[in-house]
Amino acid sequence: MKGLNRDRMLEEIERVYRERFPVYLRVAAAITGDAELGRDAVQEGFAGAIRSRRSYRSRGPLEGWIWRAVVNAARDRHREPREERFVDEPAVTAGEERGALRAAIARLPERQRLAIFLRYFGDLDQRSIAKVLGVRPGTVAATLHTARESLRSNLEEVEAWQR
Amino acid sequence: MAEVDRLQDALEGSYPRHEDLAGDWNDVLQRAERSPRSSRWALPTALAAGAVAGLILLLVAPWDSGTGIVERARAAVGDGPVVHFVLRSKIEGRLVPLEGELREQRVFDETEIWWDPSRGFHEVARFGGAPYVDALRRSRPRPDVPSGFVAGYREALESGQAKAAGDDEIGRIKVTWLRIRIGGVTLEVAVNRNSGDPVRVKYTPGGNAAVTQEQDVVLAESLPAGVGDFSAERLPDSGLPLGGRSGSVAREDKPVGAKGAAAVLGQAPLWLGREHDGAPYKGFFRTWVQFAEAQEPRFIGVDAQYGTPAPPPGFAPSGSTSPWTLVSQRRSLEPVVDLDAQRVWPATRPGFVLVYKGRNPFSRTSGYFKRGGLYVTITASSRDRIISAARGARPFSAGSGAGG
């Protein structure tokens, strides 16, 4: 661990947790598809960050490093019990844009889905998303563009139903 | 409504904020004390692990063999199927602003590598953050540094052949050197004695220390399946030479006037005035390149010379310590002249001079910057002179008294 000693690091992780818990929760809940599972993922992600804080290397903000731990914990929980849970929801019914959008997002490839959640719920920029997903910022830009295109066509479809 | 806003609104309505769920920091701390993914099996598992560990202690005495540090090194990389490393070579440069306060920003030469046996090997080399190599290969790389190291490090640690080879300290980090074998090649890896993280990797071909290659390990991790960057991107076409052409390059013995220099460059040449920090102006000298004897030499640039340049490193010493400065300027780059062009020029930034010494043992520390369509390279008898010349270079104007 460079830059921060262990106790200071713990304080910093706690600060991020207290200030940003609702944001982490929202992203994790979106990934897992369940608020309780999302909360469990946030708790476990932060716990994992504490356990492995020696490996933090100050290459980028601490918060981004924690994001990776939380997202991985959420992905684990999403895979385990109720995989592709949103796909089972009714697709498009009149006035149910909500379910339709969630179903469309559930059908996106995982990287696109994570990028959407991190961008819109986590409010992360492309550089930070790239660090969380282990890809380059240019890849994130392309991923977000493709995801938006897929979702846009879905939104138009829903609007057509509502007219 | 903008499309992005529509999506934002739709997402807001589709995913609730869960404001009823609060955080619990004490729960986080308690979880952190337990092993990851703890369950009802945690206690029995821990007890069993403790018993096994005790047995191992009795049988193996790891403090004698170095097994402990090898295991820590193996654990530090993780178990994900995708391996992701960032390695930093010994090559570095400094960006210095051309105006204002003198401050220096270090820039590094780094290689980022992803290796996934099912997707291939993706390597991006960057100098100062600017990519100059972006290659995706399906085949397993050669075992030398850095590519083979990344692909084979984890297996080498698991092979049982990795041996501790002594302790050391690198940048205040206490390390143990491990000797590992990858594809018949022996590499030495310094790992953090506490965390097991790799810190530096060293390869000495044929045991010849004079040609040892070293890279610092900036990042070493494994990623889950499907994660990582395996899409090589075409680098922007910078018009830089790709190398491989042979030819000769030379400079005229006699200077030309400013008009002659401008004719080569298509614009007024840069210069430093009638003298530069004690070195008198000697004139503009045209440089030319010739790729085949049948071809006419082609003028490619101009050197504004101050004082008498010393021979390059490795050549006969000049016996003179007189100050000198050379401002080389060209409209285009040529492979036979600009050996490091692929690395250097993408790393330059508007408003800065990049001070850098090339890999070639005969190369000098030089300053690089672009101005008005010209590629400018400054060499001088000292590093300070390079920076002062870069900051003082200006277009020659009529009436300055340089002839022509």
Residues facing B375 on adjacent strands: B330, B370
- Backbone Cα Rg of chain B: 28
CB contacts, 8 Å: B13 with chain A: 97-98
Do the Cβ atoms of B16 and A22 come closer than 8 Å?
no
Q: Which of A18, A98, A139 has the CB atom closest to B229's CB atom?
A: A139
Q: Which of B23, B34, B194 has the CB atom closest to A17's CB atom?
A: B23
With an 8 Å Cβ cutoff, is B227 touching chain A?
yes
Query: Which pLDDT score, from 0 to 100, does residue B15 have?
Result: 82
Does the beta-carbon distance from A47 to B28 stay under 8 Å?
A: yes
What's the predicted TM-score (pTM) here?
0.58
- The residue that leads in pLDDT, B316 or B274, is B274
**pLDDT tens across B323-337, in order?**
999 999 998 877 656
Reduced to 3 states (helix: H, G, I; strand: E, B; else coil), residue B317 is coil
With an 8 Å Cβ cutoff, is A59 touching chain B?
yes
Please give the share of chain B, as a percent, with pLDDT higher than 70: 79
Residues facing B285 on adjacent strands: B303
In Å, the largest CA–CA distance within chain A is: 60
| B258 contacts: CB under 8 Å, gap ≥ 6 | B268, B269, B284, B396, B398, B400, B402, B403, B404
- The residue that leads in pLDDT, A149 or B355, is B355
How far apart CA B184 and CA B181 sit, in angstroms, is 6
User: Up-side HSE of residue B159: CA atoms within 13 Å toward CB?
Assistant: 16
Q: Residues 83-122, chain B: which have Cβ within 8 Å of A? A: 84, 114
Banded pLDDT at B148 (limits 50, 70, 90): confident
Do the Cβ atoms of B392 and B380 come closer than 8 Å?
no
Query: Which pLDDT score, from 0 to 100, does residue B391 have?
Result: 96
Q: Residues 78-137, chain A: which have Cβ within 8 Å of B? A: 97-99, 101-102, 105, 110-111, 116, 120-121, 133-136
Peptide bond into A22 cis (omega under 30): no
For A67-76, B52-61, B139-148, which range has the lowest pLDDT when averaged over its residues? B52-61
Q: What does the DSSP assignment read for A70-109? A: HHHHHHHHHHSSSTTGGGGS----TT-HHHHHHHHHHHS-
ipTM of the complex: 0.82
Banded pLDDT at B57 (limits 50, 70, 90): very low
- The residue that leads in pLDDT, B239 or B99, is B99
Write down the residue that tokens 């297996």 correspond to.
Answer: B155
Query: Which pLDDT score, from 0 to 100, does residue B361 have?
Result: 62
With an 8 Å Cβ cutoff, is B233 touching chain A?
yes
How far apart CA B82 and CA B84 sit, in angstroms, is 7
The CA–CA distances, whole Å, from B367 to B260, B269, B312 equal 25, 17, 15
The total of other beta-carbon atoms located within 10 Å of residue B74's CB is 19
**pLDDT tens across B163-175, in order?**
998 999 998 889 9
**Amino acid in position A76:** D
β-pairing verdict for B298-306 and B279-290: antiparallel
Do the Cβ atoms of A111 and A133 come closer than 8 Å?
yes
Mean pLDDT throughout A37-65? 81
Query: Which pLDDT score, from 0 to 100, does residue B59 have?
Result: 43
Do the Cβ atoms of B284 and B261 come closer than 8 Å?
yes
Do the Cβ atoms of B324 and B306 come closer than 8 Å?
yes
pLDDT of B404 strictly over 50: no
The total of other beta-carbon atoms located within 10 Å of residue B182's CB is 22
CB contacts, 8 Å: B10 with chain A: 97, 101, 151, 155
Query: Which pLDDT score, from 0 to 100, does residue B41 have?
Result: 38
- The residue that leads in pLDDT, A86 or A20, is A20
Query: Which pLDDT score, from 0 to 100, does residue B343 have?
Result: 84
Query: Which pLDDT score, from 0 to 100, does residue B203 have?
Result: 85
Do the Cβ atoms of B142 and B212 come closer than 8 Å?
no
**Amino acid in position B240:** L
Query: How far does the CA of residue B98 sit from the closest CA of chain A (Å)?
Result: 28
How far apart CA B227 and CA A94 sit, in angstroms, is 37
CB contacts, 8 Å: A121 with chain B: 11, 15
Is the C-alpha dihedral spanning B295, B296, B300, B305 positive or negative? positive
**pLDDT tens across B368-393, in order?**
999 988 999 999 999 999 999 999 99
How far apart CA B158 and CA B178 sit, in angstroms, is 13
Reduced to 3 states (helix: H, G, I; strand: E, B; else coil), residue B81 is coil
Query: Which pLDDT score, from 0 to 100, does residue B12 have?
Result: 78
**pLDDT tens across B176-201, in order?**
999 998 888 889 999 999 889 999 99
Chosen for mutation from A1, A44, A56, A108 (greatest number of chain B CBs closer than 10 Å) is: A44
pLDDT of A119 strictly over 80: yes
**Amino acid in position A53:** R
- The residue that leads in pLDDT, B30 or B40, is B30
**Amino acid in position B352:** F
Write down the residue that tokens 């952190």 correspond to.
Answer: B32
Query: Which pLDDT score, from 0 to 100, does residue A53 have?
Result: 78
Q: What is the mean pLDDT of chain A?
A: 75
Does the beta-carbon distance from B3 to A110 stay under 8 Å?
A: no
Mean pLDDT throughout B77-100? 91
**pLDDT tens across A88-111, in order?**
233 333 334 456 677 778 778 888
With an 8 Å Cβ cutoff, is B236 touching chain A?
no
Please give the share of chain A, as a percent, with pLDDT higher than 90: 13
Reduced to 3 states (helix: H, G, I; strand: E, B; else coil), residue B170 is strand
CB contacts, 8 Å: A1 with chain B: 195
Query: Which pLDDT score, from 0 to 100, does residue B399 have?
Result: 66
CB contacts, 8 Å: A97 with chain B: 10, 13-14
β-pairing verdict for B352-357 and B82-97: antiparallel
With an 8 Å Cβ cutoff, is B6 touching chain A?
yes
Q: Which of A105, A134, A151 has the CB atom closest to B227's CB atom?
A: A134
Q: What is the mean pLDDT of chain B?
A: 81
- Backbone Cα Rg of chain A: 17
Query: How far does the CA of residue B141 sit from the closest CA of chain A (Å)?
Result: 21
Mean pLDDT throughout B23-38? 74
User: Up-side HSE of residue A113: CA atoms within 13 Å toward CB?
Assistant: 23
CB contacts, 8 Å: A45 with chain B: none
